[in-house]
Structure 1
Amino acid sequence: MDAVLAELVERGRGLVTRSIVEQVVPEWILQRACTNGELVRVLPEVFAAAHLLDERGNRAATPPLTRIGPALGRRAITAWVRGRGALSHLTALDVWRLRQQLPGDLLHVSTPATSGLRNWPGVRVHRRRHLTLAPPSVVIRQGLPVTTIERALVDCWLMLPPAEQRAPMIRAVNDRLTTPERLRAVLVDTARVAGRVALHTLLTRLAEGCRSPLEIWGHEQIFTGPGMPAFQRQVQVRVGLRNAYLDLYAEPERVNIELDGATTHGDPRQREIDLRRDAQLAALGILVVRFAHRRLVGEPDAVRRETLAILASRRPR
């Protein structure tokens, strides 16, 4: 490869655009690099170093853009749109580190309806009539323009498999990257969202304090209904030098129900932490009752009966 062109590609960390090349070297040098297999066009006017492309699989049937990997692909899209769009949908979720895209996955970008951009092999262009490519609609993250975390989560609701739909939203709220209220505002502002009822229900559960799929399931199947108190969720209690957050707390009875997920079962270190925390809460007069994932899912009626009996025993006679 021509030495000057090679330096441009190195400065671009594996990418170069035609507009940059033409400012420095003649057009034929770029054409020769492509003919020699040193550069590959991955998008209109955007080229990648050939050695960065994944050589596995059917090369003829796989778009070059998806063969350079999601990280380099995101930079290629940003160079292509040149301020006319922002990474969005599943690609935005990856930028927000809520769900990783894998090599070969379709990349996504949103643009105003008047941008003139169209789909290209490996990238889906979502045209939005009222999209403004500036804060608060679009922000810069990892040096790339990306739609807000709330917009990305709502946009991806039905793009994800049913088993994966709730996890990114729950994680975003748990990590305090957003709130149920901000997510609900975006949902209200979106005219058409398939699965709106299910999404609205999830946001309601998050607003009520549920912080995991297991807590949501327990709320809907076990810990509401006749006889159950209005549990407080994620109640903060000072325990020693730290704050503890109680999954479900019945304040009059001073009972804390903890829902232990399947991943914590059999972990000796986590078990020791839980026992120490339970003892500290007991010193404050709070009874901790733990239900394992297996019992919650496999014996919901028995868990409900036991919970009601424990609560009854703690009430003043």
Structure 2
Amino acid sequence: MNGVLRELVARGDGLVTRTTVEQVVPRWILQQACGAGELVRVLPGVFVATHLLDHRPQQPLALHRLDPSVARRAVCAWARGRAAFSHLTALDLWGLRRQAQGEPLHLSTTIDSGLRGQPGARVHRRRDFTVEPPQVLVRQGRPVTHVERALVDSWRMLSPAEQRAPIIKAVNNRLTTPKRLVSALRGASKLPDRGALRTLLTRLAEGCRSPLEIWGHEHVFVGPEMPTFQRQVRVTLGRRTMYLDLFAEREQVNIELDGATTHGDPRQREIDLRRDALLATVGILVVRFAHRRLIHEPDVVRRETLAILATRRPTGARRG
């Protein structure tokens, strides 16, 4: 490879653009490096050093053969500030869902940007969009649509089994709130399965913070005989702060919904026992139901819950 071109490629950590190269060396130098297999064109005007590509023969697209971080650098060099990562790619940059190598990178741009989709890079042109705050922020050094927009845009691209997890994670990590997501949903009137997303946001606004809690809300801990549970109640005892899944204040009963994986860990079990003992010192009874029972025995769990609550009500206040 020509020495000057080699230095340019090194400065770009293995990536270089045609515009940069042609400012210092003739075009044929770039063509020669590509012909010798030293550089590969991954997008119009964007080239990478061959050693950055993996060698999977089943993957014909050069962009898909790059590590995701390098692929995103290549897309930014091609877009030249005219677009921001969005949809599933934005979820990855927000840390909400890892995008697998080989999935197309998604960008949002203005109607008149002139960008057109390329193999491995899907462009979404939008009206009333600007590539600047507050619509676009910087995450991991890359321009990205704000988290509410990314979550709503990605909803239709995910399978029903995957749809809830990024939204629940975003709310739990305090990247957004159900209220802000509802506002973003108003701007997506044609979104498929819109009703399911609105229901999820309603459950999150009511305090549910996991798929298991949503299941319990919809199938077990509801109905005229059940009290109005408070969800995710913050309790501070000494130096420890805890959040109660479901709390019946009058009965002083805390219902905990134990997930299928985390609570099978002996260390987690020890933490739970210490927590439950601490709550008992202030008169709060902790009742735990495992994932398996909640899913497969909802009616039995419901009857047990009602019986426990009945024993905890003050004399004269018990129902029946």
Class of the TM-score when normalised by the shorter of the 2 chains:
over 0.9
**In 2: Cα distance, 1:267 partner to 1:214 partner:** 18
User: Aligned to 1:271, which of 265, 269, 272?
Assistant: 269
2:93 corresponds to: 95
Task: Look up the equivalent residue of 1:70 and give its one-letter code.
Answer: P
SS in structure 1 at match of 2:107: strand
2:126 pairs with 125, 128, 143, which one? 128
Match of 1:309 in 2: 307
Do structure 1's residue 50 and structure 2's residue 69 form an aligned pair?
no
The secondary structure found in structure 2 opposite 1:42 is strand
Aligned-residue offset at 1:199: 0.3
Distance 2:28 2:118 in 1: 25
Aligned AA (1:19): T
**Counterparts of 2:207 and 2:260 in 1: how far apart (Å)?**
20
Cα distance, 1:208 vs structure 2: 0.7
Matched residue, 2:318? none
Q: Does the 8 Å contact 1:107/1:123 carry over to 2?
A: yes
The one-letter amino acid of 1:13's match is D
Residue 69 of structure 1: how far off its partner (Å): 2.5
Q: 1:38: which partner in 2? A: 38
Residues 138-157 of structure 1 mapped to structure 2, 5 A cutoff = 138-157=136-155
1:77 aligns with 2:66: no
- Does the Cα contact within 8 Å between 1:112 and 1:127 map onto a contact in 2? yes
CA distance in 1 between counterparts of 2:93 and 2:302 reads 41
Distance in 1, Cα, partners of 2:168 & 2:5? 46
Query: Paired residue for 1:256, among 224, 229, 254?
Result: 254
1:140 positional shift? 1.3
Q: Distance in 2 between matches of 1:305 and 1:57?
A: 58
* 8 Å contact kept, 1:98–1:171: yes
2:220 counterpart of 1:197: no
The CA RMSD measured in Å over matched residues stands at 1.0
Query: Secondary structure at 1:150's aligned position in 2?
Result: helix
Look up the equivalent residue of 1:241 and give its one-letter code.
R
Check if 1:233 corresponds to 2:231.
Answer: yes
More deviation, 195-204/63-72: 63-72
**Quick check: 7-16 or 89-98, which moved more?**
7-16
- Rounded to whole Å, the distance in 2 between the matches of 1:121 and 1:69 is 16
- Which residue in the other structure is 1:3 paired with? 3
> Is it true that 1:221 corresponds to 2:222 in the alignment?
no
C-alpha separation in 2, matches of 1:65 and 1:273: 46
Letter in 2 for 1:40: V
Question: Structure 1: how far apart are the matches of 2:20 and 2:237?
Answer: 60
SS in 2 for 1:307: helix
| CA shift digits 1:196-241 (9 cap, x unpaired) | 1000000111111100000001100001112011110000001231
Identity of aligned residues (%): 69
Matched residue count: 315
Q: Distance in 2 between matches of 1:257 and 1:118?
A: 53
Task: Using the TM superposition, give the Cα deviation of residue 26 of structure 1 relative to its aligned residue in structure 2, in angstroms.
Answer: 1.4
Query: Which residue in the other structure is 2:66 paired with?
Result: 68
CA distance in 2 between partners of 1:26 and 1:315 (Å): 86
Give the AA of the match of 1:291. F
The 3-state SS of whatever aligns with 1:262 is: coil
Q: Distance in 2 between matches of 1:264 and 1:76?
A: 39
Matched residue type, 2:34: C
User: 1:289 deviation in Å?
Assistant: 0.3
Partner of 1:193, secondary structure, is: coil
Is the 8 Å Cα contact of residues 70 and 105 (structure 1) preserved in structure 2?
no
Q: Give the match for residue 291 of structure 2.
A: 293
- Is structure 2 residue 23 aligned with structure 1 residue 23? yes
**TM-score under structure 2 length normalisation:** 0.96
SS of 2:148 mapped into structure 1? helix
Deviations 1:145-182 (A, max 9, x none): 11011111100002011111100110011011111111
